[in-house]
Structure 1
Amino acid sequence: MKKLIVILFSLLPALAMAAGPSVPLDAANNDLSDKASLQRGAQIFMNYCFACHATQYQRYGRVAEDLGIPDDLMKEYLIFDPNAKIGDLMVNAIPADYAAASFGAPAPDLTMVARVRGSDWLYTYLRSFYADPTRPFGVNNIVFPSVGMPHVLEELQGVPSKVYETRLVDGVEIEEYVGIRSDGTGELNDEEYDEAVRDLVNFLEYSAEPMKLERQRLGYWVMGFIVVFFVLTLLLKKEYWRDVH
């Protein structure tokens, strides 16, 4: 009985993850074949995310090659460590203990985050920050309540706030949450910010599986080979069994 209880408790985190988020997610609609989007996403990531979050299973050179970025431009605009080489892993300089002291936990590596969380979750999360003076960094998040991360893209979006609308329910006025709205102080308008977040998530999805498009392309060839092999096998079987019948 004790073993059964232990097993059930060990499955609770997995069951919670399987249940999915309680907030409806917006579709990211990524396109991994859009090199321009991936390049913009890499630029946003390196300028706003890389100070805390590494992608330590990626190499600068591999990213430059896959995204069509010349090595000299990669070094000039996307590699900020003067000691880093084009073939190095993309590891940032923030110590794990310092990050833990500053944010409550070490900043997670983002190489595989799109595969763990999902692109739609990331896209919705990055567009769901709102001003909350009670939090250490002055912001909270609809998708990830009590998040320990500051809104690093606030420069682009502006100061976001929760928006409510009043509606009547059985003759009683209630405040209903309808979304997030920026105060307009950011560098981008709402549509431009959504597109910038989509570019960033597109890059993170690429980082999670750089070979995804190649794997899918090879998959079509493999399926075609299996179909041809099946036809040849069927014809060979008929040839062998012709004398038996």
Structure 2
Amino acid sequence: MKSLIAVIFALLPSFVFAAGGNVQLNDMKVDLEDTASLQRGAKYFANYCMGCHSTKFARYNRVARDLGIPDDVMMDNLVFAETKIGNLMEIAMRPEDSKKWFGATPPDLTLVARVRGADWLYTYLGSFYADETRPYGYNNTAFKDVGMPHVLAGLQGKQVKGCAPVVIGFDPLTGQELKEDSCARTDDAGHPVEVLYLEEEGQLNAAEYDKAIADITNFLVYMGEPMALERKRIGFWVLLFLAILFVPVYYLNREFWRGIH
């Protein structure tokens, strides 16, 4: 039995790797104390994502309170359905309709950041590229053959996948970037290395778009655990209490064992 358990734990990393795919993830700096970022993320999510994706384990008034948004502002700017401020954040689209249109029912995103991780989510939002072979004209390097349209294309512009100059280092004398064509290199399978690059700019430039998807990711991390900051605050005082309690418990234990030793 012990040998079987050991084998299972040894294979777990392989299963996880296979489920996640061989994707190079970008680093996402989560900051749940950045209220402005959370508010912007909520705005982008409500405007671009909630047409298809619900967050049905959260309520509008709880999000408004946590993010410092007055109820009337929340209702006027972030709630587009005929609903009340205390209701769950559900959508009007019926599952049977969405399955017919997209081939699968779009998942609820309340816990997506906890399931996938902030780095994956941030990478996914920045990895759409034009692909005429796909039903909605876009594919994704983080989620091959994704079934959803690129709803943020208007903000990002047209990103494509192909050969493009990439930075390989810096000149030691001038400090200037040294570049070469990405396809001059090959991957482990011997295929030319293609990269994502912006062919047409959208409403936002590259830096602004990166900030926008970081805000969305930040918001979804908050949605996955609204009590995260409170948990950490309470945890500090619990650890402090235990540290103080250790002193009298230590001396009490020594006193109990004095007669035995």
TM range (shorter): 0.7 to 0.9
Q: Pick the aligned partner of 2:205 from 179, 189, 203.
A: 189
- Structure 1: unaligned runs, 5 residues or longer: none
**TM-score normalized by the length of structure 2:** 0.83
- Could you say what secondary structure the match of 2:201 adopts? coil
Q: Which amino acid aligns with 2:211?
A: E
The match for 1:56 is 56
* Conserved 8 A contact 2:185-2:192: no
The match for 2:155 is 156
The match for 1:35 is 35
2:137 is equivalent to residue 138 of structure 1: yes
Q: Structure 1's 174 and 148: CA in aligned 2 closer, same or farther, altered over 3 A? A: closer
Q: Pick the aligned partner of 1:217 from 215, 227, 233.
A: 233
Identity among equivalent pairs (%) = 51
Tell me how far 1:68 sits from its aligned partner. 0.4
Give the paired residue count.
231
Q: How does 1:22-171 map to 2 (within 5 A)?
A: 22-81=22-81, 83-164=82-163, 165-167=182-184
Q: Deviations over 1:186-219 (max 9, x none)?
A: 1001111011000000000100110111111111
Q: Which amino acid aligns with 1:35?
A: T
- Could you say what secondary structure the match of 2:56 adopts? strand
Distance 1:89 1:166 in 2: 49
- Could you say what secondary structure the match of 2:200 adopts? coil
- Could you say what secondary structure the match of 2:193 adopts? strand
Q: Deviations over 1:149-206 (max 9, x none)?
A: 100000100011014223267xxx97322x3222233100111101100000000010
* Conserved 8 A contact 1:38-1:202: yes
**TM-score normalized by the length of structure 1:** 0.88
Q: Structure 1's 16 and 240: CA in aligned 2 closer, same or farther, altered over 3 A? A: closer
- Structure 2: unaligned runs, 5 residues or longer: 164-181
* Conserved 8 A contact 1:41-1:200: yes
Q: CA RMSD in A?
A: 2.2
The match for 2:192 is 175
Distance 2:38 2:161 in 1: 30
Tell me how far 1:16 sits from its aligned partner. 3.0
Q: Deviations over 1:216-240 (max 9, x none)?
A: 1111111111111111100222334
Distance 1:60 1:104 in 2: 29
* Conserved 8 A contact 1:167-1:174: no
